[in-house]
Structure formats: structure tokens, C-alpha cells
Structure 1
């Protein structure tokens, strides 16, 4: 099939281009610059310049014979304490981008896929949930819920299958957050954020390795699936266990703790609640209907792959060197 991907240079998009072209699908990836063009080209795709917030560029980028569209573009804030303006930018890329994409796609489009997030449906009482649960969007997930609704509405009128794959927290060797977590763990500067007065209450979270998320999208495309699926690994895990395991594999100091009420002053409400509000869910529907199985069924399997990859490609040595340099600089400053 011919597949058009927005966000083709992101942690998910890169993997989609790789996997789809490996399976003989024709892939066109939307990019914003020459660096993005090279990323898509090296993975076997065809790059087209454009911006999801610029409808004219989308119309030029999308061919008349596109059968499947994946809206993977985001602008998730990378600052320590994101402002509302940063979240608003992400909202625009998600929702306006989805609307512009569908307005530019040709008649005959068969399927539109959107990577939403499982925590859009986390339950107020912290209980386990699945795809049938009521959603409870917050500031970070409101636009994801809006796109889910928008796709269902457009699908009913335009005749394509709307496929929403709600993913757990992404992690991977090349994921921005994973590298930041590893760097801060090696520095001894990544505390576990917990609930309660002293930060001792741990919430069960759902993660997924980015390789497994991409595999689920390919499975959904090739089975022509419609509907909503939760794409997570087999085992929910507390943030404490995840980061303690990561630290152990990195041979880094064991992370300390900080209560969520205090963390809000440093990282904001959205980020502090992200790791203290439970979101245990299940991948049973995705396994059953898509024929998908995660290559890294638990966070332990996935984190071992991350650290092994970093060890092989030199990233781990680089992070350790940076950590040592920062410690040395700090000690010199204290001595002065």
C-alpha cells in the first residue's frame, strides 16, 4: 500500500518508515528540512517538504493514490517545566494538523491511524482499564481526545477506517526522554516522583518500547483494522521500579524520591502528575485482533535493549563522560 506519514522523523515515524518499506509498502514521509529529508531517504522512504499547519504544503506533498495516512506529528514540550503556550502548540499540531491532513487527502483513502496515549483514559480511582473505559483527559491529553473524536466523525462521513492506537510511555535508545533519563540517572539527579506527603505512594504505569509501538502500527495497517487499541507491554510497572531497574543496568546511583506536591514547583503539574496518576491497562485486544506481540514484553526486557544498544554504539560511554565532567566541574566550583 502507499502510506503517507506526518512526523516521519520522530521516534515513532522513523521506525514506521523503516518497517513499512522493509515490507514493500511505498512510504511518503512529511519533513520540514534537509536533515529530515535525509532521515526518511536513508530508511527507504520518499521525503516531501511541508508542515501540518500549512495546508498548501500538505496538498503539494500528498499524492492522489495515497491509501493510508498516519498522523504521527507532535510538538510535545521538551522543557523542564512546560508553559501553557508550549502545550497549546502541541494541541495545534495534533488537532489542526489532523484536520489539515484529512482535508488534503484524496478520495479513496482507506485508513487513517493516530498514535494517541493510554493515559487519556486513566481512571480517577487508579483502577485497571481497557479500550471501553470512559476517558478523562487532562491538559496534556485533551487534544489527543479531540483528535480521536474528530477521526471517528470524519470516518463516518468519508468512509475510511479510523484506527486509534493509544500507546504507553515511549522509551527507546534514540528517544529524547530516554536519553535524558539515562543522563540524569548517571548524574544522580533523577528522583522518583511519588504521591503522598513524603512521596512514598507509587503508581502503576504502562510503558511500551518504540519498536513495539511501530510493529503494532504495521500490524494495524496490514490487517486494515479500525477502532481503538491499547499498545503497551505485558506488565504495568511503577515509576520507582522502572527507574531503579534503569539505574541498576546503567550502574548508576539508586534514585532518591521527591513528593509530587514538591515536584510541581520544578516540572509543573502536568509532568508531576504524569508519573503519580496510575494508568494500568492491557494489550489483550491488540494481541487478539492485530496478531501483534511485543518483542520486549516487559520493561526489563526493553531497558536491557536500551543499555546494550548504548554500550555498543558508544552512547553509554559518552553519557558517563558527560556525567564525570559535570561532577568534576561541580566539585571545582565548590572548592573555589
Structure 2
């Protein structure tokens, strides 16, 4: 198939494009600059240049690539400051709203058959009920204020993609990435904070996180492109874990002392309301549907194995 990947030079795109090429697909990469185009060429894709926020440029790029499938992996997430969470996600929120609308419109005009989009299954589920959620469970309808715009942008993306009659829309709710190019790669700021005991367990640490190795996420994306049907898939590993479990274990992998424990009010002062939510209220996600319908299995079934191997 002819596949256009928007976001081909990001952490996931760098894993995804070579896998698509190896699977025999003709891959095009929508990039913003000549330098990014050279990087995409090195991955095996043919570059087409467009700014995702410029509808005319996007339409021209899609006409040039003439794909059967568009894969939307556009994000602009750098350092995440939990005290200024809204600011940290502002550029990505815009890509998830305007970028999604532009790509969908261009795909519809060009007769694209399938549209696969990156969503978030790590921070977005409702913070009520059981600890592990399926695709049928709702997103958070009453997030803390600093998370509202991020969850609103995710909601917009998902509704736009799933409501589209043509192309067929598939949403992939990825867990928290680790591995090459992510915020949890060796030497990253996040892991260094854990090593230096600057990443404490807040309260009981009963917020549940779902992780996914970025290579496993790419494999699942290939499966969704080839075998998926309209709907939502959680792309996470087999081992959703409370912060109180995973954080001390990761510290041990790094050869660090156990993380400190602080009460919720101290966590709120240091990391803001979002930091407290991430530590104490998150819900994890189940990958049963993706396994069943996509025939996918993560090569790293648990973050315990995957992170230990990476570190």
C-alpha cells in the first residue's frame, strides 16, 4: 500500500517508517523542512513537504503522495512541566485539532481509504471505577484545569477520526512511551530525576500507569494499518502498574536509592495538581482488544523486562 506518515521523524515515526518499508509498503513522509526530508529519506520514505497547520499545503502534499492510508503521528511534546501542563501540550493540542482536521479533509478529497491516528491512553481515562480501562470506558469528563485542554484536544481528534465515513478511522491510544527517542530513554531527564531521588512517590502512589516500548507501539501501528477496523485500540503492554510499584523498581534498575515518599499536599506544592493526579489517580489500560483483533503481541510484555533491557 501507499502510506503517508505525518510525524515520520518523531520517536515513533523513526520506528514505524522502516517497519512499513520492510513490510513492502511504499512510504511517504509529510515533513516541514528539507532537513527533516533528508532524515525521512534515510528512514526509507519519500518526503513531501507541508506544514500540518496549513490546509492548502497539506492538501497538496496528500495529492502528491496519493496514499491509500494516512498515519497521523504529529506531536510536539518536549519537556513536560506538570505545574504548567497546559503550556507543555499547547503545540500538540493544536496539531491534534487543526492538524487532524486538515489531514482528514485532504484525505477525504483524495479518496484515502484508511486514517490511523495517534491518541493518548496513558493520561486520559476517567479517574473513577476500576484501575484498568478498556476502549469502551469514557475519557475524563472533569479533568483538573491544567489537563482540560489536552484531554479536549484528544477528544476532538478521536471524534473527528471516528465520525469520518471516508476514510475509515482508527484511533490508537498509546501508553506512556519508553525506549529510544522517548522521555524514558537512557540518560533522559526523567530517568535522571529518578536516579537523583527528585521523583518522589506522592501519597500512596496508587495512580496506575500503562507503558509501551516505542518499538512495540510501531509494530502495533503496522498491524492497525494492515488489519484494523474502524474504532479505538489501546496500545499498551500487559502490565499496568501503580506508581508505588513501578517507580521503586525503576530506581533499583538505575542503581538508585528508593524514591522518597511525600504526602499529597507536598506533591501539590512541588508538582501542582497535575502531578498529584499522575501519581495518585490515573487509570491504566487493557490491551486485550488489540491482541484479539490485530493479532499483535508486545515483544516487551512488561515494562519490567523492557526497561531493564534498555538500561
Say yes or no: TM over 0.5.
yes
Q: Which residue of 2 aligns with 1:313?
A: none
Measured at CA, do residues 107 and 241 of structure 1 come closer, stay the same or move farther in structure 2, by a change above 3 Å?
Answer: same
Q: Which residue of 1 aligns with 2:303?
A: 299
Q: What's the secondary structure of 1:255's corresponding residue? A: coil
Deviation at 1:83, TM superposition (A): 5.5
Distance between the aligned counterparts of 2:279 and 2:14, measured in 1?
Answer: 26
Distance between the aligned counterparts of 2:75 and 2:48, measured in 1?
Answer: 17
Deviation at 1:3, TM superposition (A): 1.1
Distance between the aligned counterparts of 1:239 and 1:60, measured in 2?
Answer: 46
Moved more, 68-77 or 132-141: 132-141
Are the aligned partners of 1:77 and 1:90 in contact in 2 as well (CA < 8 Å)?
no
Q: Which residue of 2 aligns with 1:84?
A: 86
Distance between the aligned counterparts of 1:258 and 1:87, measured in 2?
Answer: 26
Moved more, 248-257 or 12-21: 248-257
Which sections of structure 2, spanning at least 5 residues, go unmatched? Answer: none
- TM-score, normalised to structure 2, is 0.88
Are the aligned partners of 2:211 and 2:303 in contact in 1 as well (CA < 8 Å)?
yes
1:146 pairs with 2:146: no
Q: Which residue of 2 aligns with 1:186?
A: 195
Distance between the aligned counterparts of 1:34 and 1:238, measured in 2?
Answer: 43
Alignment of 1:68-107 (within 5 A): 68-76=69-77, 78-80=79-81, 81-82=83-84, 84-105=86-107, 106-107=109-110
Deviation at 1:42, TM superposition (A): 1.6
Distance between the aligned counterparts of 1:190 and 1:85, measured in 2?
Answer: 21
Measured at CA, do residues 9 and 265 of structure 1 come closer, stay the same or move farther in structure 2, by a change above 3 Å?
Answer: farther
Are the aligned partners of 1:121 and 1:134 in contact in 2 as well (CA < 8 Å)?
yes
Runs of 4+ residues over 6 Å off in structure 1 = none
Deviation at 1:8, TM superposition (A): 1.3
Measured at CA, do residues 250 and 237 of structure 1 come closer, stay the same or move farther in structure 2, by a change above 3 Å?
Answer: same
Deviation at 1:224, TM superposition (A): 4.2
Are the aligned partners of 2:205 and 2:243 in contact in 1 as well (CA < 8 Å)?
no
Deviation at 1:79, TM superposition (A): 4.3
Larger radius of gyration: 1
Deviation at 1:219, TM superposition (A): 0.4
Are the aligned partners of 2:177 and 2:183 in contact in 1 as well (CA < 8 Å)?
no
Alignment of 1:270-281 (within 5 A): 270-281=274-285
Distance between the aligned counterparts of 1:67 and 1:99, measured in 2?
Answer: 18
Deviation at 1:260, TM superposition (A): 3.9
Are the aligned partners of 2:4 and 2:70 in contact in 1 as well (CA < 8 Å)?
yes
Are the aligned partners of 2:205 and 2:242 in contact in 1 as well (CA < 8 Å)?
no
Q: What's the secondary structure of 2:41's corresponding residue? A: helix
1:172 to 175, 179, 196: 179
Task: Tell me how large the CA RMSD over aligned residues is.
Answer: 2.1
1:27 pairs with 2:30: no
Q: Which residue of 1 aligns with 2:51?
A: 51
Spell out, residue by residue over 1:76-110, the C-alpha distance to the aligned partner (whole angstroms, 9 max, x if none): 35242325344333221111100011222243211
Distance between the aligned counterparts of 2:268 and 2:33, measured in 1?
Answer: 36
